[in-house]
Amino acid sequence: MPHSSQRALAAPQSPIRKLVPFADAAKGRGIDVIHLNIGQPDIASPKEFWDAVIRNHPRTLEYSHSAGNASLRQKMRATYEHMLGVRLGEGDLMVTTAASEALCFAMTACCDAGDEIIIPEPLYANYLGFASVSAVRIVGVPSRIEDNFAIPSAEAIEGYITPKTRAIVVCNPNNPTGAIHSRAEMEALGKLCLKHDLFLISDEVYREFNYTGVLPPSVLQLAGLEQHAILIDSVSKRYSLCGARLGFLVTKNAELMGSMMRFAMARLSPPGLAQLGVEGALDVPESYFGEMREEYRARRDLVVERLRAIPGVICPPIDGAFYAMVRLPIDDSDRFCQWLLECFDHEGKTVMLAPGTGFYVTKGRGKDEVRIAYVLNTARIAQAMDCLEAALLVYPGRTS
């Protein structure tokens, strides 16, 4: 019998989704599973998206240009100019099948097989999957919960650079930590990339989820990085359109964009129906983001308050995105998250979390951490926190 490739067998499972069979089994037993494991917003997708689909639906849904519909690209360039004060040329932006494809294209275009990309950890778990598909090695640089998961110093990161290093990846605001990285931190990374001639790939899909009152800097705004900067973006979170699977890849490096266009041609085109709708979504009023941000701020505040009231739990400040990377008094986060689904309920409910181990490259890290996605309304979050508090009282692997 033919067997899977070693690359396929070595691909990591998603910590966000690998416990789904246990959640399904719990639901089958009549348990109400509260999902805080995945970043699926419950905010309604904007009416402007659906109106644009209905208004503009063609007789035949054809392939688009491999870089995306020209009208959407033009409108998105105008959006970046308005949002960031950055003017982009016609060839600087590509529409992709969500940020996932943009990241795969960027990693594969920047690196040959066996090359290295440096990422501060904990990191978005699917970076590991994208790197595995691209035969790229992720080098994790640890950040610490005690330092609120701030980016390690440029000097610390420089110690991880080798002749194989091709890029540094940063997520800002950060998934999974909720940290926002300052202009000074981003500029330090930019100088490091210039010094060693590396690409700086910035995942900015959570830009609007910012509770500090100051927008985090975009990689496109950093002076002197025009040939080194790669922006990864998406409509999934910003417009609550995860299922649209539409993202953007931006760089002023014409050679690199030309390389990535070869990948885009091979997959033919990004989702056509979603492109029609997203053109409409770009017209939402500024009040949409303000209302959304205040709703998530209330959820953030409740999560932090409840977590910090549980003995033995460490929850750092959360300035952006809608995640908390939390330390719990447990022996093993994989075991604990599975136990919650297999062996525990509180008044007929349990909570599904993402084990912290899946957000690290370094073996052994994250064993006492979980990622919480506060994407449900405050009533459901309160129920989830009740479950977590009750679970930690009886979990057999509690450590303190």
- Kindly state whether residue 277 falls inside one of the protein's structural domains: yes
- Kindly state whether residue 400 falls inside one of the protein's structural domains: no
Pair (172, 187) in one structural domain: yes
The CATH number assigned to the domain holding 329 equals 3.90.1150.10
Per residue in 217-255, pLDDT (tens digit) is 999 999 999 999 999 999 999 999 999 999 999 999 999
Decide if 352 contacts 33 (C-beta within 8 A): yes
Total-model pTM: 0.96
Its domain, for residue 109, covers 47-281
Per residue in 264-297, pLDDT (tens digit) is 999 999 999 999 999 999 999 999 999 999 999 9
Q: Is 284 strand, coil or helix?
A: coil
- Kindly state whether residue 237 falls inside one of the protein's structural domains: yes
Pair (40, 56) in one structural domain: no
- Kindly state whether residue 366 falls inside one of the protein's structural domains: yes
Answer whether residue 13 shows pLDDT above 80: no
- Write down the pLDDT at residue 8: 79
Pair (22, 74) in one structural domain: no
Strands (E), the chain: 32-35, 93-96, 116-121, 137-142, 165-171, 199-203, 229-234, 247-250, 323-327, 349-352, 354-355, 369-373
Of 249, 281, 313, at which residue does a domain stop?
Answer: 281
Per residue in 187-207, pLDDT (tens digit) is 999 999 999 999 999 999 999
Task: Specify the number of domains making up the chain.
Answer: 2
Of 214, 246, 281, at which residue does a domain stop?
Answer: 281
pLDDT band at 7 (very low <50, low <70, confident <90, very high): confident
Pair (356, 271) in one structural domain: no
Pair (135, 196) in one structural domain: yes
Buried b (16+ CB within 10 A) or exposed e, 310-340: beebbbbebbbbbbbbbbbbbebbbebbbbb
pLDDT band at 179 (very low <50, low <70, confident <90, very high): very high
Pair (55, 155) in one structural domain: yes
Per residue in 78-105, pLDDT (tens digit) is 999 999 999 999 999 999 999 999 999 9
Q: d(Cα 44, Cα 240) in Å, to the nearest integer?
A: 7
Per residue in 324-347, pLDDT (tens digit) is 999 999 999 999 999 999 999 999
Pair (215, 275) in one structural domain: yes
